[in-house]
Structure 1
Amino acid sequence: MLKSEFAPAKINLTLEILGRRSDGYHELRSLVAFAQDVGDVVELASGSLSGVEITGPFAGDISGSNLVDSAIAAFAEKVPGAAPNRLSLVKNLPVASGIGGGSADAAATLRLLSSAYPEVSEPDLLTMARVLGADVPVCIRARPVMMTGVGETLDEVALPHDLYAVLVNPLAGVPANKTSQVFASLGAATLAGTPSKEPTPRFSRIDDVIAYAKARGNDLEAPALRLLPIIGTVLADLRRLENGLLSQLSGAGPTCFTLFKTRSEAEAGALALRLRQPSWWIRPTRLG
């Protein structure tokens, strides 16, 4: 019987880079949400096919080993003999796009493999996830959180149910080391000490989310724009959409988003943008 796990797109509603730590990693603070109906799918089934089969519209953009392979290896190390006979990835999200596609795929793989091993707990999965990358732990839970440290501290946040977005990626070519180039261009200052922990924000209304996200922004937006100027075109087009509340970059880009109060407004915005930019990847979704 086919088993599957949804790997939702991860959206950085905010991304503050607080400085570079003595170990070379960057201290961050990010309000993270997940698309409820936009993402990849990892499937597990019986069969004799070895390795990971990749299908979907962006399958051709993945070459060599990927985080799904790494997740399988990490799980097999924890649970010997647990490697699947057949595992496939339906790649619906653009690659290297700032919405955590690879990390979400790895997290979904760990969740899927653990479904057959009840002795593997969520803390076990988080331990495996931390080895795979800074964004993998937040994708294990795939729920709204305030993410701090280097991604290891996750405080759950309640978002209003009726928070919608249009996600847009211009499908422009990005360098393989995009994220490292963006961070290098940012040139974050060295941290003098451990940043003080802020209280976890509370959001009663969408307006609270908008006000918070607008005030915090995304510190990677300016350096990402220098590397990929087309991000400026995307943001300008998004800011023209009727009923759009806030438009920002997610992660290191180039995917950007605009927030809306209703699904119909988000869908209308996506349709209007597709008419202007038919070659772009454009998806309306609810965030949660």
Structure 2
Amino acid sequence: MSLPPDWRGVRTLAPAKINATLLVGPVRPHDGRHELASVMQSLTLADDVALVPAPPGQGGDAVACPGVTGPNLALDALVAFRAATGWDAPPLTVRIEKRIPVAAGMAGGSADASATLRLAAHAAGVDDPALLQRLATALGADVPHGLEPGLALAAGAGEALERIDGVLPGGLVVVPAPVGLSTPAVFRRADELRPPRAADEIAAALGRLRAALGDPAGPRIPDDLAANDLADAAVDLAPVVGDHLTLLRAAGAAPATVCGSGPTVAGWFADEAAAAAVADDLGAHGVRAVVALPTRGAPVATIPAVPA
């Protein structure tokens, strides 16, 4: 599991995730997390993540992510991988070029951790999906999805995944907000505003979503289940979220939704061209907007050696 002397690293994309459906059920007594019924879709909006040799003098593994400070889940992922496998490669750097808005409800940090696990497994020659799943689940409920970017139906607290062939149709306009929201705070406020859905309602929703995602004509979501139960709480805590939802709905988004626990919002449009037109119009009025498409897959590539 050692690295060749001329090894320069590996890289991959870490796609953002949108919850096309996010229904919140009862709290699990064993860990305090809510049961969910969620549809997770990876997007072309993605961070660039590389695992490369550490520069001289770096005493251990580290993360280099310009513009982002503080603890990084990607480093936790690399530490956990080494501990689980005994991988004794020399110190490494996880190099992240951020494109996903930070603390935006789009699982950017989780996606980076997922990508780091995939990169480390590739570099170490470890082919053990079950191991990576266990490590990802321990790191956070959103991390397992990024091990195989694409479309998935999620139960549990988001870690129990059923991978779905294909992607959801349409194009998205993603609108970040210049504020931050704490995920635990949003869940607490959601519980205060409305009791969580009952367990049988969550189970019924999972059944309907499973059938719709398996539609022979292509994956889809029933209109009444294209909802985010955290949206009202996010709007209550950060009114700008509601302003952005209003803008997207006025532009014809069907639906417009809060991304995860916010504060980023996204509007679904018929295709990339329609989404691009709306994003251009919003930009002309001073509202930052990014076009993203549903996607699947994020292969790992070896960084080529510099020619002699």
Normalising by the residue count of structure 1, what TM-score does the alignment of the two structures yield? 0.87
User: In structure 2, how many angstroms separate the alpha carbons of the residues matched to 1:73 and 1:119?
Assistant: 15
Query: Is residue 53 from structure 1 mapped to residue 64 from structure 2 by the alignment?
Result: yes
Q: In the alignment, residue 53 of structure 1 is paired with which amino acid?
A: A
* 3-state SS of paired residue (1:32): strand
Q: How far off is 1:125 after superposition?
A: 0.8
Note closer, same or farther for the CA distance 1:230–1:75 as it changes in structure 2 (3 Å cut): same
On the 8 A contact 1:6/1:39 being kept in 2, the answer is yes
Note closer, same or farther for the CA distance 1:237–1:195 as it changes in structure 2 (3 Å cut): closer
User: In structure 1, how many angstroms separate the alpha carbons of the residues matched to 2:223 and 2:89?
Assistant: 42
Note closer, same or farther for the CA distance 1:99–1:126 as it changes in structure 2 (3 Å cut): same
Report the number of matched residues: 274
Q: Which residue of structure 2 aligns with residue 71 of structure 1?
A: 77
User: In structure 1, how many angstroms separate the alpha carbons of the residues matched to 2:274 and 2:138?
Assistant: 40
User: In structure 2, how many angstroms separate the alpha carbons of the residues matched to 1:139 and 1:11?
Assistant: 12
Normalising by the residue count of structure 2, what TM-score does the alignment of the two structures yield? 0.81
Query: Is residue 105 from structure 1 mapped to residue 116 from structure 2 by the alignment?
Result: no
Note closer, same or farther for the CA distance 1:9–1:160 as it changes in structure 2 (3 Å cut): closer
Identity %: 29
Note closer, same or farther for the CA distance 1:260–1:192 as it changes in structure 2 (3 Å cut): closer
Q: Which residue of structure 2 aligns with residue 145 of structure 1?
A: 152
On the 8 A contact 1:5/1:41 being kept in 2, the answer is yes
Q: In the alignment, residue 12 of structure 1 is paired with which amino acid?
A: N
Segment drifting more, 63-72 vs 192-201 = 192-201
Query: Is residue 235 from structure 1 mapped to residue 245 from structure 2 by the alignment?
Result: yes
Segment drifting more, 15-24 vs 46-55 = 46-55
Q: Which residue of structure 1 aligns with residue 279 of structure 2?
A: 270
Structure 1 residue ranges without an equivalent (≥5)? none
Note closer, same or farther for the CA distance 1:31–1:183 as it changes in structure 2 (3 Å cut): same
Note closer, same or farther for the CA distance 1:83–1:237 as it changes in structure 2 (3 Å cut): farther
User: In structure 1, how many angstroms separate the alpha carbons of the residues matched to 2:52 and 2:159?
Assistant: 32
* Residue deviations 1:235-286 (CA, integer Å, cap 9, x gap): 01111225x33211111011111112221111111111111234x3x21121
User: In structure 2, how many angstroms separate the alpha carbons of the residues matched to 1:255 and 1:84?
Assistant: 35
Q: In the alignment, residue 117 of structure 1 is paired with which amino acid?
A: A
Bigger Rg, structure 1 or 2: 2
On the 8 A contact 1:98/1:254 being kept in 2, the answer is yes
Query: Is residue 6 from structure 1 mapped to residue 13 from structure 2 by the alignment?
Result: yes
